[in-house]
């Protein structure tokens, strides 16, 4: 009986109640801390988060501090930075992967082509819940579009001149397929890293072809440079020749007009005084042909040479001209 009373007194011990109370308060505080820590979450830059309620997506959170209902809502964070993967080679070791790189061209040649694909998540909800492995789906879509486009070009275009066009067409095809499939991933870019024939001999031949094309382009550039240097000088020379020809033409036209005017004037004088005009024209011609001759030798039929001074003819001509003028005036 005494022991029972002792136990009864112990149950009502104030220290025991205090301990129980502190334990309960500690548990409650711990629960409150857990609730507090599960009520807030932070999204970093270049991240987005999908908030789900009982597994159903409710909203997409942007970078910053956000609130959620503890134990009911969950947060799935998604990295939105640009990422990439290689097609046709191992990105770590650089070794070729023939199952991905070996392709056939439109002229039935084989070629090894390596690509690098850059992408980013543009829809976190689709990226998380539309498919299990969206990146693998993107890679398969890229391989399909690559093979279909490479098959449209000949091997020379794939290796040398057609790379930019092929890249653009492949990118357009992949973006079209992603728009149809909607896996929440956006293609940023796809580039050809390398393109070469599968054998060394063919590779050397294509290198020789490429070198020849570069030499031809260099020759054309040099020819254009020479043309650009010489053409202005030639055009200037042509312009000078045309100007000189034009000036000569004008001079000859003026000279011809002057001679025609002189002839007309002589003809008018000839009509008036035929004999005097003939004599004057004769003397002028002789002065022009023999400017230093002062006499004329006249061989007659008798064989006697007569030295006739030219000055006397000129003075005679002037006398006759004056007398004819006086006679004409008198008449």
Distances (CA, A) of 285 to 1, 78, 278, 316: 182, 114, 10, 17
Strand locations in 242-325 (E) = 295-299, 305-309
Distances (CA, A) of 50 to 79, 92, 273: 11, 32, 125
Distances (CA, A) of 249 to 187, 202, 207, 255, 256: 73, 67, 61, 10, 10
Q: What is the DSSP letter of 97?
A: -
The residues spanned by each domain of the chain are 82-198, 201-272, 286-330
pLDDT in tens, the chain (331 residues): 444 444 444 455 557 777 777 777 777 777 666 666 667 778 888 888 888 888 788 888 888 887 777 778 788 888 999 999 999 999 888 888 988 998 989 988 889 999 999 999 999 999 888 888 999 999 999 999 999 999 999 988 888 888 999 999 999 999 999 999 899 999 999 999 988 887 666 667 667 777 887 888 889 999 988 888 888 888 888 889 999 999 999 999 998 998 888 888 878 877 887 887 777 778 777 777 776 655 555 555 555 555 455 555 555 555 544 444 443 333 3
Structure pTM? Answer: 0.53
Just give the CATH number of 82-198. Answer: 3.30.479.30
Q: At what angle do helices 274-289 and 310-330 cross, to 10 degrees?
A: 160
Q: How many secondary structure helices (H) and strands (E) does the chain include?
A: 10, 11
Q: Within 13 A of 218's CA, how many CA atoms are on the CB side? A: 6
Phi/psi of residue 22, nearest 5 degrees: -65, -40
Q: Are 185 and 120 in contact (CB under 8 A)?
A: yes
């Amino acid at each position: 009986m005494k022991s029972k009373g002792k136990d009864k007194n112990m149950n009502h011990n104030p220290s025991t109640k205090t301990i129980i109370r502190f334990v309960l308060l500690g548990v409650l505080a711990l629960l409150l801390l857990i609730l507090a820590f599960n009520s807030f979450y932070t999204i970093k830059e270049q991240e987005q988060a999908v908030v789900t309620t009982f597994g159903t997506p409710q909203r997409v959170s942007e970078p910053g501090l956000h609130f959620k209902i503890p134990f009911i809502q969950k947060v799935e964070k998604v990295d939105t930075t640009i990422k990439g993967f290689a097609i046709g080679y191992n990105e770590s070791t650089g070794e070729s992967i023939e199952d991905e790189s070996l392709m056939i061209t439109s002229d039935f040649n084989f070629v090894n082509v390596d690509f690098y694909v850059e992408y980013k998540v543009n829809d976190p909800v689709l990226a998380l819940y539309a498919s299990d492995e969206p990146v693998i789906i993107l890679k398969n879509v890229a391989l399909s579009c690559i093979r279909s486009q490479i098959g449209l070009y000949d091997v020379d275009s794939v290796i040398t001149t057609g790379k930019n066009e092929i890249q653009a067409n492949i990118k357009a095809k992949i973006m079209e397929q992603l728009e149809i499939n909607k896996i929440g991933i956006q293609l940023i870019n796809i580039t050809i890293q390398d393109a070469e024939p599968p054998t060394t001999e063919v590779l050397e031949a294509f290198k020789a072809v490429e070198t020849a094309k570069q030499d031809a382009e260099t020759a054309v550039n040099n020819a254009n440079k020479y043309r650009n240097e010489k053409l202005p000088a030639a055009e200037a020379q042509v312009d000078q020749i045309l100007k000189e020809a034009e000036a000569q033409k004008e001079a000859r036209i003026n000279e011809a007009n002057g001679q025609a005017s002189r002839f007309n004037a002589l003809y008018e004088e000839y009509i008036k005084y035929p004999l005097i005009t003939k004599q004057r024209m004769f003397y002028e011609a002789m002065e022009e042909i023999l400017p230093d001759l002062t006499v004329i030798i006249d061989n007659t039929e008798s064989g006697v040479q007569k030295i006739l001074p030219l000055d006397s003819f000129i003075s005679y001509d002037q006398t006759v001209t004056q007398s004819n003028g006086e006679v004409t005036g008198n008449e």
